[in-house]
Structure 1
Amino acid sequence: MSDDMLARLEQIQRHALGLQAAVQSQPRPNEADGTDPTGCIAVAVDPAGLPSRIEVRAGWQRHVAAEALGSLVVLVFQEVAAQAAQAWSESFDLDAWRSRAEAAQAGEREGAELPPLEQARPFGSPRDPLTLTEEALKALKATRDQAAAPPMTSTGWDSDRAVSIILTAGGLQGCTINPRWALRQGASVLNAALRQALGEARAAMEEHAARRRVEAQGLDDLAREALATLARFQDLSNPPKEG
C-alpha cells in the first residue's frame, strides 16, 4: 500500500469527522409539550423524540371516553413531536452546514497538504492481521444482521397491567389504558400508572441505546486498528534507506 493511499484514507476520515462536527454544532431540539384540544391529555417530548411525561388531567371523564384515552395519548404525542421536529428544522443552519461541507470537499480537490504520515496517525495499535480480519468479518455480520432485524420495540406496564406504553426509536407507537380500570381511578392513580409504564419502556430503550453505542465504539476502534495495521505494513515494505 502506497503512502498516497494511506494519506487518502486519513483524509477521508478527517472529512467524515468534519461533517460530523458540523452536524453536532447545530442546536439540539428542545423538549416540547402540548395537550389535546380539551386540555385533558398532556404529553412532553424530549430532544430524542421520546415521550418524557404523559399526564391525564382531573375531570377527563367529562370530555374523553375511557375507551379513547390510549389512542388520544398517541395522537397528542404525534402532534407535539411533529411541532418539535418542525421547530428544530427551522433552527438548523443549513447554509453553515453546506458551507463546511463544501470547504472540506474543496480542500480534497485541491490536494490540501496533510501532515507527515507518522504524525497523522490517531489510530489504534497494529494488530495481528488474521485476528483483525476475523473480528472485522464478525463485525460486518453483526451489522448485517442488525440491519435485517425488525426495529427495536420496548413495552412498559404498570404494576396492575392496566396501562401499557410501546416505544420505538421513532417515538411512542402505542398506549393502552384499560377503560374499566381507568373509570374506577382518580387522575393521580392513572398518572402514576402512566409514569411507571413509561419509565419501564424508556429504561429498555436506553439499555438498547447503550449497547448500540458500545458496538459503534467497537467498530470505530476496529477501523482505527485496521488503518494502523496497514500503516505498519507500509513501513515494513518501505524501510528507510541507509546512508
Structure 2
Amino acid sequence: MSEEILARLQQIQGHALKIQAALQSQPQPGEGRASDPRGCVAVVVDPDGLPSRIDVWTGWQRHVAAEELGSLVVRLYGEVAAQAMQAWSESFDLDAWRSRAEAARADGQEDAGLPPLAQAPAFGSPRDLLTLTEEALKALKATRDQAAAPPVTATGWDGERAVSITLTPGGLQGCTINPRWALRHGASAINAALREALREARAAIEEHAARRRAQAQGLDDLAREALATLARFQAVHNSPEEG
C-alpha cells in the first residue's frame, strides 16, 4: 500500500471527525412536557426521546375510563415527542452546519502535507496481523448478527405487575394499567407503579445503549489499529534495510 493511500485514509478520518464536530455544535433536543386538556395525565420526555416521568393526577376517574388510561399515556407521549422534535428541527441551523461541513471538506482536500500515518497520534498501535484479522472477522460477524436481530424492546413492571411500560431506544411503545387495579387505588399508588415500571424499562434500554457504545468503541479502536498496522508494514517495505 502506498504512502499516498495511507495519507488519504488519515484525511478521511480527520474529515469525519470535523463533520462530527460540526453536528455536535448544533443545539441538542431539549426536554418536552405535555398534559391532556382535562388535566388527568402528564408526560415528560427527556432529550433522548424517552419518557422520564409519567403522572396521573387525582380525580382522573371523573374524566377518563380506567381502560383508556394506558392508551392516553401513549397518545400524550406521541404528542410531546413530536413537539420536541419539531422544536429541535426549527432550532437546527442547517446553513451553519453546511458551512462547517464544507470547510472541513475543503481542509481535507487542501491538506497535502499530512505526516506519515504511523506518526499520527489519532491512530492506534500496530498489532499482530493474525490476531487483528481474527478480531476483525469477529467484529464483522457481530455487526451482521446485530443487523439481523429484531428491534430491541424492554418492558418494565411494577411489583404487583399491574402496570407496564414498554420502551425501545427510540421511545415509548406501550403502557398498560390494569383497570380494576387502578380503580381500587389512588393516583399516588398509580404514579408509584408507573415510576417503578418506567425505571425498570429505562434501565434495560440504557444497558443496551451502553453495550452498543462499547461495541462502537471497539470497532473504532480496531480500525485505528488496522491502519497503524498497515502503516508499519508500509514503513518496513520502504526501509532501506529491507531484503
Secondary structure in 1 matching 2:220? helix
Question: Which residue is 2:48 aligned to?
Answer: 48
Question: Which residue is 1:112 aligned to?
Answer: 111
The offset of 1:121, in angstroms, is 4.1
- In 2, are the aligned partners of 1:136 and 1:222 still within 8 Å (CA)? yes
- TM-score between both structures, scaled by the size of structure 1: 0.96
Residues 229-240 of structure 1 correspond to what in structure 2 (within 5 A)? 229-240=229-240
- In 2, are the aligned partners of 1:165 and 1:197 still within 8 Å (CA)? yes
Task: Give yes or no for the alignment of 1:65 onto 2:74.
Answer: no
Give, in whole Å, the separation in 2 of the partners of 1:206 and 1:126.
33
Q: What is the CA deviation profile of residues 218-240 of structure 1, one whole-angstrom value per residue up to 9, with x for unaligned ones?
A: 10100000000000000000015
Give, in whole Å, the separation in 1 of the partners of 2:79 and 2:39.
14
Give, in whole Å, the separation in 1 of the partners of 2:62 and 2:93.
45
The offset of 1:120, in angstroms, is 2.4
Question: Which residue is 2:186 aligned to?
Answer: 186
Give unmatched runs, 5+ long, in structure 1: none
The offset of 1:114, in angstroms, is 3.4
Give, in whole Å, the separation in 2 of the partners of 1:135 and 1:119.
24
Q: 1:44 to 1:114 in 2, by over 3 A?
A: farther
Secondary structure in 1 matching 2:123? coil
Give, in whole Å, the separation in 2 of the partners of 1:9 and 1:121.
14
Give, in whole Å, the separation in 2 of the partners of 1:114 and 1:64.
69
Question: Which residue is 2:152 aligned to?
Answer: 152
The offset of 1:177, in angstroms, is 0.3
For residue 151 of structure 2, what is the amino acid of its counterpart? P
Residues 3-22 of structure 1 correspond to what in structure 2 (within 5 A)? 3-22=3-22
- TM-score between both structures, scaled by the size of structure 2: 0.96
Secondary structure in 2 matching 1:167? strand
Give, in whole Å, the separation in 1 of the partners of 2:240 and 2:97.
43
- In 2, are the aligned partners of 1:121 and 1:228 still within 8 Å (CA)? no
Secondary structure in 2 matching 1:29? coil
More deviation, 30-39/169-178:
30-39
Residues 197-208 of structure 1 correspond to what in structure 2 (within 5 A)? 197-208=197-208
Identity %: 75
Give, in whole Å, the separation in 2 of the partners of 1:4 and 1:127.
22
Give, in whole Å, the separation in 1 of the partners of 2:210 and 2:104.
31
Question: Which residue is 1:38 aligned to?
Answer: 38
The offset of 1:123, in angstroms, is 1.1
RMSD: 1.2
Q: Structure 1 runs of 4+ off > 4 angstroms? A: none
Aligned residues: 240
